[in-house]
Chain A
Amino acid sequence: MIIESNYVSTLTFAAVNSEASFASTQKKGAQGIIDEITASKLRGCGGAGFPTGLKLTLMAKEKTHPKYVICNADEGEPGTFKDREILTNYAELVFTGMAIAAMAIGGAEKGILYLRAEYAFMKEHLVAVIAKCKVFTGFNIEIRSGAGAYVCGEETALIESLEGKRGEPRNRPPFPIQSGYLGQPSEVNNVETFAWITTIMSKGAAWFNAVGTVQSAGYKIFSISGDCKRPGVYEFSMGTTIAAMLNAVGGEGAQAVQMGGASGQTIFADQFSRKIAFEDASPGGSIMVFGPQRNMFDVAENFLEFFDEESCGQCTPCRKGNVQLLVAVRKIKAHLQGKEMCCKNKEQAHGCLERLYSLAETMQIASKCGLGQSSANAFLAITKHFADDIKCGGRK
Chain B
Amino acid sequence: MTDIKVTINGQEVSVPAGTTILQAAKQLGVKIPTLCYHEDLCTSGSCRVCVIEVEGARTLQASCAYPITAPIVVHTNTPKVRNARANILQLLLSEHQGDCYTCKKNMNCELQTLAGSHGIDTFKFGHVSWENKDDEGNKKEPCFGESNAPIQFEREKCILCERCVRSCTQFQNIGVLGKCGRSNETHISTFKDLPLDEVNCINCGQCVNRCPTGALTERDDTDAVWSALEDPTKHVVIQTAPAPRAGIGECFGLTPGIPLTFQMNTAIRQLGFDKVFDTNFTADLTILEEGTELIIRLYKALVGKDASAKVPQFTSCSPGWIKYIEHFYPEMLGYLSSAKSPQQMFGAVIKTYYAKKFGIDPANIVSVALMPCTAKKFECDRPEMCDSGFKDVDYGLTTRELAKMIKESGMDLPKLPKSDFDDPFGSATGSGVIFAATGGVMEAAIRTVYELVTGKKIESIFEKANIIPIRGFEGVRYAELPITEVGAVPQIIAHLVPNWDWLEGATLKVAIAHGTANAKKVLDDIKAGGKFSECHFIEFMACPGGCLGGGGQPIPTSLEIRKQRARAIYDEDMAYAVRKSHENPAVLELYKEFLTDGPCGHKSHDLLHTSYTARGKYIR
Asked whether A368 lies within 8 Å of B91 as measured between CB atoms, the reply is no
Residue-wise, chain A 308-326 has the 8 Å CB interface mask toward B (1 for contact) of 1111111111111111100
Q: Are A359 and B125 in contact (CB under 8 A)?
A: yes
Is A39 in the interface zone, CB < 8 Å from B?
Answer: no
Partner of A365, one of B66, B67, B80, B183: B80
Set of chain B residues within 8 Å of A149, measured between Cβ atoms: 182
Bound-state Cα–Cα, A27 to B514, Å: 58
Q: Are A324 and B183 in contact (CB under 8 A)?
A: no
> In the bound complex, do residue B183 and residue A312 qualify as a contact, i.e. CB atoms below 8 Å apart?
yes
Contact among A309, A320, A362 with B92 in the assembled complex (CB-CB below 8 Å): A320
Contact A171 B62, beta carbon cutoff 8 Å: yes
Residue interface bits A168-193, CB-to-B below 8 A is 1, else 0 = 00010110000000000000000000
- Residue of B124, B178, B179 touching A313 (CB-CB under 8 A): B179
Partner of B88, one of A173, A310, A314, A316: A316
Contact pattern, B 451-483, Cβ under 8 Å of A = 1, otherwise 0? 000000000000000000000000000000000
Which of chain A's residues 278-311 have a Cβ closer than 8 Å to chain B?
Answer: 307-311
Mark out the residues of chain B between 157 and 191 whose CB falls within 8 Å of any chain A CB in the assembled complex.
Answer: 159-160, 178-179, 181-186
Give the residue of A166, A327, A362 whose beta carbon is less than 8 angstroms from that of B87.
A362
A309–B49 alpha-carbon span in the complex (Å): 23
Contact assessment for B94 and A311 in the assembled complex, using a CB-CB cutoff below 8 Å: no
**Which A residues touch B69, using CB under 8 A?**
173
Question: Could you say which residues of chain B place their CB within 8 Å of the CB of A364?
Answer: 59
Task: Name the prevailing secondary structure of the A interface residues.
Answer: helix
Tell me if B565 counts as interface (CB < 8 A to partner A): no
Interface size class of chain A, counting residues whose CB lies under 8 Å from the partner chain: 35 or more
| B199 at the A interface (CB under 8 A) | no
Q: Is the Cβ of A368 less than 8 Å from the Cβ of B183?
A: no
CB distance from A355 to the nearest CB of B (A): 6
CB-CB under 8 A from B66, the residues of chain A are: 171, 173
Residues facing A in B214-231 (CB within 8 A) are: none
Chain B residues lying within 8 Å of A367, measured Cβ to Cβ, are: 48, 59
Bound state CA distance, A358 and B88, in angstroms?
11
Q: Determine if B51 is an interface residue (Cβ-Cβ < 8 Å).
A: yes
Q: Which of A310-366 contact B (CB under 8 A)?
A: 310-324, 327, 355, 358-359, 361-362, 364-366
Known contacts A166-B179, A309-B182; is A316 also within 8 Å of B65 by CB?
no
**A199 interface hit (Cβ, 8 Å):** no
Count B interface residues, CB 8 Å: 37
Whether A368 contacts B185 by the Cβ 8 Å rule is no
Shortest distance between the CB of B106 and any CB in chain A (Å)? 23
| Also in contact, A368 and B48, with CB within 8 A (given A311-B182, A323-B183, A362-B87) | yes
B47 at the interface (CB under 8 A from A): yes
Closest Cβ neighbor of B90 among chain A residues: A359
Q: Which of A318, A324, A365 contacts B84, CB < 8 Å? A: A365
Contacts of B65 in A (CB 8 A): 171
Known: A312-B183, A365-B84, A368-B45. A355 touches B67 (CB 8 A): no
Residues of A with C-beta under 8 A to B159: 316
Residues of B within 8 A of A315 (CB): 45-48
Contact across chains for A320 and B91 when beta carbons are under 8 A apart: yes
Chain A positions within 8 Å of B67 at CB level: 173-174
Report yes or no: B87 in contact with A368, Cβ–Cβ below 8 A. Answer: no
Distance, CA A358 to CA B84, complexed state (A): 8
CA of A315 to CA of B88, assembled, Å: 10
Show 6 residue pairs from A and B whose CB-CB distance is below 8 angstroms, ordered by the A residue: A171-B65, A313-B183, A314-B160, A318-B183, A322-B184, A373-B59
Q: Apart from A173-B67, A313-B186, what are 7 other A-B pairs with CB-CB below 8 Å?
A: A308-B183, A316-B46, A317-B91, A319-B183, A323-B183, A324-B91, A365-B60
Which residues of A does B touch, CB under 8 Å?
Answer: 149, 166, 171, 173-174, 307-324, 327, 355, 358-359, 361-362, 364-368, 373
Enumerate chain B interface residues (CB-CB to A < 8 A).
Answer: 43, 45-49, 51, 58-60, 62, 65-67, 69, 80, 83-84, 87-88, 91-92, 94-95, 124-125, 137, 159-160, 178-179, 181-186
